[in-house]
Each structure stands twice: as structure tokens, then as C-alpha cells.
Amino acid sequence: MVHFNNYINGNWEKSESNEKYESINPVDQSVVGSVDQSTINDLDKAVESAKSASLAWKKLSGAARGQYLYKAADVLEENLEDVAKLMTLEMGKTYPEAKGETARGVAILRYYAGEGMREEGDVIPSTDPDAFMYTKRSPLGVVGVITPWNFPVAIPIWKMAPALIYGNTVVFKPALEASVTAAKVFECLHEAEFPKGVLNMVNGDGAVIGERITENPDINGITFTGSDKVGKVVGQTALGRGAKYQLEMGGKNPVIVTKDADIDKAVEATISGGLRSTGQKCTATSRVIIDASIYDSFKEKLVEKVKDIKVGDGMQEDTWMGPCVSEKQLNTVLSYIDIGKKEGATLIHGGERITSSGLENGFFVQPTIFEDVNSAMTIAQEEIFGPVLALIKVKDLEEGIKIANDVEFGLSASIFTTNIQNMLTFIDDMEAGLVRVNAESAGVELQAPFGGMKKSSSHSREQGQAAKEFFTSIKTVFVKG
């Protein structure tokens, strides 16, 4: 069993608490590994380390900072299979998906390494003919990074890589459920030999370590991905002391299937978008809004395809869907299924915990489909974060978009149609930060801005060059001889 200490000032340091958190394999509840349980003093020490390293790091050229990211990418790529295997063991994602996510982490590091060679400002004409005016970017300083368990490689890297390339230092707190995988990634970053203090990691409960990250006066910016409930607290605390903050939170993502859609493609994308990763994606499809004229045909094909899904240990080659990440998450999913039944939705597939031989100790739930769902029901309004699809029948696209928008969230949405006007109407009228046409709702490219509308985010954007807007401040320079 592997154990990781905190990572502070370029060293693996034991926590003051002398306590550890054991991470559990959701397939059989065996212990995968453990990490130190950090104290507030550990966190403050990490922040002090990051602050001390900040000036020298930001003085490096973007190209020089990029070389560290290139090296980190190479090390992570060399360890790709080990990281992916650990991810599968720790949080249940299938091994092919885990390898894909780790490869994406490599690509993100290389993308932002290249950003170190891009322009950082603009020349602006001055009304004074004898003056020169331009803008440049300044880093925030120390950035606190708080991430969830569902993408333990990609999300931390898509936050840390831009923070670093734009001249910030980092204090990172991963979700405990994925803390061993996160520490393995930091082991790769350690091998890339970043200057001491530039990267720091502490583990612990969000109510202790996460809260202190939001409160520490030397943390200048906080980037958070997680639940909307916790995100609100992070934002309020950061705002109260004047720190910059970025929140990416929940989703209740629809796919609309019009009467002219390719039904087979729509079915495949609904299953992939809604059930892969056990539905544990913020962009996962949870509502399927279908034109009444094709509803029965779509439903029949969907149920038949879902029946063929193999649920089990993600390390097995034929497994398509793994377990929920924890018993707590499993119980949350099962509770929403019960609510759906009680509120009058009709369960047409799944809906039970899987306890068959070999899986009885795991946190497995059947892929689940409800119909007779209306927009007022809880399963049509709240994020379940599990493999549950709610089918909603509508008379036309106008009603479909109205129902799609009838939630507090606005992260991603997709439509299946062959009609160009339908596509354009959907693109214009859908209240979501990511809209996809003839593609599943879950799918984010690293070079493109990502973020939500309404309660899904704080209205900033991650990834691509848009990340620069959060991790830097614009400085306007006026020079006169």
C-alpha cells in the first residue's frame, strides 16, 4: 500500500497531525493507499512556501516556465499507465477512460507550456503623440486550487498548468476520495524539478483545509470545482476578503432529440454522455428531451442498448461502467431513484444496487432510466451525479428548449437534428456555456473555453487562452519621454 505525505517547498513532509486518510477501492472496499491528514498549520506552511517562491517564479520568462511544464508532461507520459491504474483502483473509472484522462493531462501541460511563448498584451494608441501605451499581464501571486474526485488528473492539471505558466505559485487541495491519485501526479511534478515552493499539496477535509484556503490572506486567487453548495461558501469567503475566485459547479445537462434526428446516433450519444464514468461528470447527460413523434422508437432502442452495458471492475477489459466512487455517493444516487418513484416517474430500467457475485462488496448501481418525467420533478431539477436518465416527451423544439432551460444550472447541452434552423435556434436560445450539435453533452476540448451559465459557475471560463483572464490581471502601461 502506497502512502504520501504533504508536498511542501519541494519536499514530502509529514503532517503535524500524525493522522492519515485511507482511500478505498469502490469495487471491493480494499485500501488503495493513504495520505496525511493535514492541519491548518500544514496549510499555512504551504502558503508561506508558495509566497516565498512567488517573486522568483514570476520573474522567469514565459518560455523558461514553459520548459518545466514540458518536462512535467514527459514525466507524466512515462508514468501514464501507473497513474491510470491507480485512478481506476481509487475511484472506479474504467481503465481505458483513466488512460484517456491521463493522456489529456499530458496534452494540457504541453498546451500551456506553449502558452509561455505567446503575446501577453496589446499596444494601444494614445491621444498623446509623444507617448507609448500598452498592456501587460501580471500574475495574481499565490493561487489556491481545490478540485473534485471525478477527474483526479485532468481537472487539477487544467487549473495548475495555466496558473503556473502565467507566473503564479500553487497550493493544491484535492478531494480526499482521489487524493492518492493526485499525490501520484505530484510525484511526477516533483520529478520535473520545479523550483522549491512553486508547487505545494496538502490533503484534508474540505471543511478544514478547504476553508482555510479561502480564508488565508496570502492566497490571492482561488479556483474551485465542486458542488454549488460548497462553491457558494468559497465565493462568499473569497469576496469578503477581496480575493479573486473562480467557481465551476453543478450541471443538469439536457440532450434534445428532434423528430428529424438520426435516432441511432442520438441513442449512442445519450448512453455515452449519460452513463460513462457512471454518470459522475459535471457535463453528463441527465435529461433526455424527445420529440413525441419519435419517442417510442428512441426509448425502445435506448433501453435495448442499455441492457447490454457491462457493469463491473473497471480493470476488466469488457467493463463499460464502473462503480460509484463511494458508499456515500451510491446512497445519494439510490435516494434520488427512490424520490423519482415517489414523485410519479416510471422506472423502465435499472434502479437497484448491484449485489451479484463478485460485486457484492462494491458500490455498484444499475444504469437507470425513468420516463413519464416532468420538469417539476426532483430528478429533472437536481444534479444526481450518477447513471440516471430522465426521459421527457415534448411536442416540438420550442417546448424542448423551454424545458431544457427550466433548471438553475446551465453547464452543457446538446441537440440531435439534421435541420439547420433547429441547430441555429438551439445555439441561440440554449442557456448553457457549452452547446454541442449532434454530439454528446459530455465533451470538453482543452484548447476551448469551458464554463457554465446561471448557477453552474461564477461566469469565468477555464481552459484554452481564456484561462489567462482568471490567472492574471491586466496592467496598463503609459510611457512618455
Give 146-159 pLDDT, tens digit per residue.
999 999 999 999 99
Rounded CA-CA distance 285/390 in Å is 9
Instruction: Give domain limits for the chain.
Output: 2-249+457-480, 253-446
Alpha-helical segments (H) within 175-279: 179-191, 211-215, 228-241, 263-275
**Most distant CA pair in the chain: distance in Å?**
81
**What's residue 357's pLDDT?**
84
- Summarised one tens digit per residue, pLDDT across range 207-237 is 899 999 999 999 999 999 999 899 999 999 9
Grid look-up 467557481 returns 247
Asked whether the domain spanning 253-446 has the same topology as the one spanning 2-249+457-480, the reply is no
**What's residue 44's pLDDT?**
97
Superfamily for domain range 2-249+457-480:
Aldehyde Dehydrogenase; Chain A, domain 1 (3.40.605.10)
Q: Is 451 left (phi over 0), alpha (psi -120 to 50) or beta?
A: left
Per-residue cell: 14: 509529514
> What does the mean pLDDT of the chain come to?
97
Nearest to 325 by CA among 97, 104, 87: 87
More confident residue, 206 or 341: 341
Cα distances (angstroms) measured from residue 178 to each of 88, 147, 218, 398: 10, 10, 26, 41
Active centre residues (catalytic): 248
**What's residue 481's pLDDT?**
84
Please check whether residue 349 is in contact with residue 368, taking contact to mean a CB–CB distance below 8 angstroms.
Answer: yes
**What's residue 15's pLDDT?**
95
Mean pLDDT of 258-278: 97
Rounded CA-CA distance 43/20 in Å is 15
Per-residue cell: 191: 520529478
pLDDT of 79 above 90: yes
**What's residue 145's pLDDT?**
98
pLDDT of 186 above 90: yes
Query: DSSP assignment, residue 210?
Result: I
**What's residue 358's pLDDT?**
87
Query: DSSP assignment, residue 198?
Result: S
- Summarised one tens digit per residue, pLDDT across range 299-315 is 999 999 999 999 999 99
Rounded CA-CA distance 305/328 in Å is 28
Mean pLDDT of 229-247: 95
Rounded CA-CA distance 182/179 in Å is 5
Q: Model's pTM, two decimal places?
A: 0.96
**What's residue 420's pLDDT?**
98
pLDDT of 419 above 90: yes
Rounded CA-CA distance 90/32 in Å is 6
**What's residue 127's pLDDT?**
96
**What's residue 1's pLDDT?**
77
Rounded CA-CA distance 225/156 in Å is 9
Helix (H, G, I), strand (E, B) or coil at 478: strand
**What's residue 444's pLDDT?**
87
DSSP-derived secondary structure for 417-437: -S-HHHHHHHHHH---SEEEE
pLDDT of 269 above 90: yes
More confident residue, 113 or 443: 113
**What's residue 160's pLDDT?**
98
Look up the CATH number of domain 253-446.
3.40.309.10
